[in-house]
């Protein structure tokens, strides 16, 4: 809670089911991003429906009724399989990755959705689709989900029919059409790692352009703020789950934009909590307003760092 009494929720980003326990130990209140492609990456065969189901059940067993947001597989680009079936592409970050790959491999997609739906009667699960760039992709993904629900119904297998469905906002296209997308989902989560790379045309994994990869670029900050405001207008939930949520210099800024839910690397939760407990929402709003007045990311970053230092200096 901020010093003026605003409650903020901190969730964990996890890749493996046993990281759920670490999230709990660090004070996380749920899982805001379960990167399920890691079920594929450590093995030379695809996970079965049972493998998926067991992974989700392990997480549910740790978390009881706390929310767990399962992102459907985000394979491709930086998360690729060393397997023959992977086609070589000249620009994998602009290629058949993420939701595009799933919509091209419906059996793989349906296997995962069946497992999520089956597990959904045992916990507080949500489904999240990554890298949406247009509304047709979202509709297609939802049709596949509806199809899988129908199959389960016919087989008399129980599932939560009203499982919340959300998307990651990771591309400028999604950010700029957020009001249309908001009409068709229950929540957004902003994936700043990809949003930054696609907005600034900077490969997030390329060391030669690393200095250009900046969460504080005015274009990125404006997109984040716009998406937040769009979600609020549409009355849907919104959180932010990119690495930016783990970095202390951005905590007052994100709170000032209005975010009350952040999802981050579990080991970072205590430090981010400390900032939240040391700052008021009115201070955060002031900081956010000022941060948007700079025209270079360098100025913004040094301003934000100085603010956080001040905040921490006043903690007893
Ligand atoms: C993101 O893009 O911000 C994100 C959280 O997803 P990932 O890092 O797994 O691509
Ligand atoms: Mg991403």
What's the Cα-to-Cα distance from 219 to each of 108, 124, 153, 213, 313, rounded to whole Å? 36, 35, 46, 12, 31
Is any atom of ligand 1 closer than 6 Å to the C-beta of 242?
yes
Give me the residue label for tokens 């497992």.
115
CATH architecture group of domain 9-313:
Alpha-Beta Barrel (3.20)
Instruction: Please tell me what DSSP assigns to residue 83.
Output: S
- Cα–ligand 2 centroid distance for 311 (angstroms): 31
Q: Which helix (H) or strand (E) holds 14?
A: strand 9-14
Is any atom of ligand 1 closer than 6 Å to the C-beta of 28?
no
Is any atom of ligand 1 closer than 6 Å to the C-beta of 170?
yes
From CA 71, how far away is CA 77, in angstroms rounded? 16
- Cα–ligand 2 centroid distance for 194 (angstroms): 5
From CA 13, how far away is CA 133, in angstroms rounded? 22
Is any atom of ligand 1 closer than 6 Å to the C-beta of 32?
no
Going residue by residue through the chain, which has 316 residues, state the pLDDT in tens, using 9 for 90 and above: 999 999 999 999 999 888 999 999 999 999 999 999 989 887 888 999 999 999 999 999 998 899 999 999 999 887 776 665 667 888 889 999 999 999 999 999 999 999 999 999 999 999 999 999 999 999 999 999 999 999 999 999 999 999 999 999 999 999 999 999 999 999 999 999 999 999 999 998 899 999 999 999 999 999 999 999 999 999 999 999 999 999 999 999 999 999 999 999 999 999 999 999 999 999 999 999 999 999 999 999 999 999 999 999 988 6
What's the Cα-to-Cα distance from 111 to each of 38, 79, 299, rounded to whole Å? 15, 19, 48
Domain ranges within the chain, ordered by starting residue: 9-313
Is any atom of ligand 1 closer than 6 Å to the C-beta of 265?
no
CB 70 within 8 A of CB 34: yes
Minimum-distance ligand 1 atom for the alpha carbon of 244: 3
Residues in the chain: 316
CA dihedral angle for residue 134, residue 99, residue 223, residue 188, rounded to 10 degrees: 100
Q: For a pocket test of ligand 1, which of 41, 194, 250, 254 has the largest count of ligand atoms closer than 8 A to its C-beta?
A: 194
From CA 281, how far away is CA 110, in angstroms rounded? 43
């Amino acid at each position: 809670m901020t010093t003026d009494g605003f409650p903020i929720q901190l969730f964990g980003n996890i890749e493996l089911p046993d990281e759920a326990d670490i999230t709990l130990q660090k004070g996380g209140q749920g899982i805001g991003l379960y990167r399920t492609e890691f079920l594929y990456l450590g093995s030379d065969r695809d996970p079965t429906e049972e493998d998926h189901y067991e992974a989700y059940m392990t997480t549910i067993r740790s978390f009881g009724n706390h929310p767990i947001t399962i992102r459907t597989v985000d394979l491709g680009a930086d998360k690729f399989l060393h397997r023959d079936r992977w086609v070589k592409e000249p620009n994998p970050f602009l290629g058949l990755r993420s939701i595009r790959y799933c919509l091209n491999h419906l059996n793989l997609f349906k296997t995962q959705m069946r497992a999520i739906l089956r597990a959904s009667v045992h916990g507080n699960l949500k489904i999240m689709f990554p890298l949406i760039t247009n509304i047709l992709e979202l509709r297609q993904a939802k049709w596949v989900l509806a199809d899988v629900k129908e199959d389960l119904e016919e087989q008399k297998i129980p599932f939560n029919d009203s499982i919340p469905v959300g998307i990651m906002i990771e591309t400028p296209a999604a950010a700029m059409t957020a009001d249309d997308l908001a009409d068709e989902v229950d929540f957004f989560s902003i994936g700043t790692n990809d949003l930054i790379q696609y907005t600034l045309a900077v490969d997030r994994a390329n060391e030669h352009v690393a200095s250009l990869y900046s969460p504080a670029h005015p274009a990125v900050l404006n997109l984040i703020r716009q998406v937040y405001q769009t979600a609020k207008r549409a009355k849907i939930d919104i959180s932010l789950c990119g690495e930016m949520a783990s970095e202390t210099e951005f905590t007052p800024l994100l709170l000032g934009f209005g975010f009350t839910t952040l999802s981050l690397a579990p080991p970072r939760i205590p430090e981010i909590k400390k900032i939240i407990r040391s700052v008021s929402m009115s201070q955060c709003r002031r900081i956010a307003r000022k941060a948007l007045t700079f025209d270079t990311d360098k100025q913004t970053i040094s301003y934000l760092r100085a603010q956080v230092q001040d905040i921490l200096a006043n903690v007893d």
